[in-house]
Amino acid sequence: MRDTVAASGVPRTADAVVVGGGCMGTSIAWHLARRGLGVVLFEKSHVAAGATGHSGALVRQHYETRLGIRLARESLTFFRRFEEETEFSCDFRTTGFLSGTRERDLPAFEALFELLRSEGVRADRLTPSDAKTMEPQLEVSDYAALVHDPDAGYADPIATAHGFAAAAVVEGAKVFDDHEVSSIETRSGKVTGVKIHGAGLLSAERVVLAAGNWTRDLAATVAPRLPVRYVRGEVAILRRPVDFGAPPRIHFDFYGNTYSRPEGEKDTLTGYMNTDPRKTMPRHEFVESLPAVTVRDLRTRLAKRFPRMNDAQPRGGWAGAYDVTPDSYPILDQVGPDGLFVAVGFSGHGFKLSPEVGRLLAEYAATGKRPKPLVPLRASRFAEKQLVHADAPFPGGKKRRIP
Ligand SMILES: Cc1cc2nc3c(=O)[nH]c(=O)nc-3n(C[C@H](O)[C@H](O)[C@H](O)COP(=O)(O)OP(=O)(O)OC[C@H]3O[C@@H](n4cnc5c(N)ncnc54)[C@H](O)[C@@H]3O)c2cc1C
């Protein structure tokens, strides 16, 4: 990279530009910089200002496709070694993951359990009474069996994005907060750079859009429109009663459509997990505050699984927008002009996948050769009617699950 710098401090050239300072953009920037590329990342607000900073940040391997399990498994391995890899902490906490099935869904449960085991996930099959011993506050009377993944956990999503960004800087990348990319520049079917609001042009032959809920519209200025829609996601924080006992593990209730995990020592974070089409939003902007009635509704839902949570103290919450594709898997591809890459449509799974997706997309952008795991995630799969399909569908219904 030639080291010419504009008066604003923004270089005039780079090997690669990354747009967006969420967990994806920062992970991609770090992986590109480690490969020796001169990388500049632009974030229009501040690192982790988007979905990343609002994420539940659950990291689980419980997926219904081999592809999803593999991406999650590699990413979980990375999260557990985040500090050794990057020299920064993401505060990953191993909690374990529990999810149950009812009698009628046992065949689906067994198939999913086998799929997880065949992919090397350390999943244990529990009886309801085993689970009650392990998680005394959990209501298990309607469950016929449960799966336990002892390796799952959660991280601090803000620390994760900052950790990746700081590690990228150590590798020579430049990261600019408060710099909005206003257009993608092209010539003769190739990317030539980006225009930065108030800071002129930067030339680069690779531009990676990891701008979260803004990627679809930014890409559409130079490439065919991507099939991404926005769905409102809500998260509440509840202070557990003092006699609740030990913090509970991550729990997915496929029947009540809720998930929960500990938040620090005393609180529980809970959210809805279905992409109900009635929640589709016309726009992608965040609606950050959560009405008290929604927080109480989330508490009521959670209390069906953890009855002691009826006495939990609401401590607020927030809403964000999920970027959802028709098959709930992301689009990780080169689209439109040569040199334009997108990482979008994470459908509520983006945080946990960010280490491995960052690695794969950086490989693609740096070498021009698409890594094999990205083939099923190509943009053209929707037109080709080759959507990602479940290898073993989740027990308990047909709704798509997030996060
Ligand atoms: C409520 C909620 C709960 C979730 N829970 C989980 C979970 O438990 N586990 C999980 O795996 N996933 C979860 N997700 C999903 C996950 O958080 C997202 O998939 C992930 O954070 C997306 O990261 P990103 O980097 O792609 O996007 P973002 O974090 O949104 O980052 C994009 C960034 O791009 C910036 N930007 C946009 N346009 C421009 C521009 N023109 N120029 C410069 N910068 C720009 C934005 O300011 C933003 O900071 C959740 C999401 C929500 C909303």
Structural domains for the chain: 1-95+154-227+326-403 (3.50.50.60), 96-153+229-324 (3.30.9.10)
C-alpha 176 to ligand 1 mean position (Å): 17
Measured CA distances, 392 to 71, 103, 125, 292, 327 (Å)? 16, 17, 16, 37, 15
For the chain, how long is the longest CA-to-CA vector? 67
Please report the pLDDT score of residue 2 as a whole number: 35
Please report the pLDDT score of residue 395 as a whole number: 76
Atom of ligand 1 nearest to the CA of 23: 25
Please report the pLDDT score of residue 262 as a whole number: 97
Q: Backbone phi, then psi, for 345, in 5-degree steps? A: 80, 40
**Residues 230 and 29 sit within 8 Å (Cβ to Cβ):** no
Question: What tens digit of pLDDT does each residue of 178-223 get?
Answer: 999 999 999 999 999 999 998 899 999 999 999 999 999 999 999 9
C-alpha 178 to ligand 1 mean position (Å): 16
Using most ligand atoms within 8 A of CB, pick from 27, 60, 268, 351 the residue to mutate for ligand 1. Answer: 351
Atom of ligand 1 nearest to the CA of 343: 26
C-alpha 51 to ligand 1 mean position (Å): 3
CA distance 100 to 43: 40
Question: What pTM value is reported for the model?
Answer: 0.95
The DSSP letter of residue 321 is E
Binding pocket residue ranges, ligand 1, CB within 6 Å: 19-25, 42-45, 49-52, 54-58, 180-181, 210-214, 218, 233, 235, 271, 320-322, 346, 348-352, 403
Nearest to 350 by CA among 366, 328, 380: 328
Please report the pLDDT score of residue 289 as a whole number: 82
Residues of the chain with pLDDT under 50: 1-7
Please report the pLDDT score of residue 286 as a whole number: 63
Please report the pLDDT score of residue 252 as a whole number: 94
Nearest to 253 by CA among 97, 121, 72: 97
CA distance 323 to 392: 24
Atom of ligand 1 nearest to the CA of 235: 1
Please report the pLDDT score of residue 7 as a whole number: 45
